[in-house]
Structure 1
């Protein structure tokens, strides 16, 4: 039980030293991640379409 209490105290002390991002930074980084995720999804969808077309054309 003592280890658990010590862990919580150390975690609380560590969190006090964290420099949290501003609201603007958080929104900016979130939008960047969403945009990058959408770009990767479109790219993967494009490659999937091309590979499906090629498989259908030449293999099936």
Structure 2
């Protein structure tokens, strides 16, 4: 394939893309960060609970 035609097609396709606004991108980023933190806290809590339970089982 001709490299010039390839680049032209890429530009044509990128022109068709509906890019998010800055506000939309920020909102989506905050959602991703919030969900990531929530999942991390949840998994950390489960890890702490299971570690404590395992310690209790192994001490007896």
Report the TM-score range of the alignment, normalised by the length of the smaller protein.
Answer: 0.7 to 0.9
Measured after TM superposition, the shift of residue 11 of structure 1 is: 1.3
CA distance in 2, matches of 1:18, 1:59: 58
Measured after TM superposition, the shift of residue 49 of structure 1 is: 0.1
Aligned to 1:43: 42
Structure 1: runs of 5+ lacking an equivalent: none
Paired residues in the alignment total: 59
Structure 2: runs of 5+ lacking an equivalent: none
Q: What is the TM-score normalised by the length of structure 1? A: 0.85
CA distance in 2, matches of 1:7, 1:59: 64
CA deviation profile, 1:3-43 (whole Å, cap 9, x unmatched): x3333222111000000111111111110100000000000
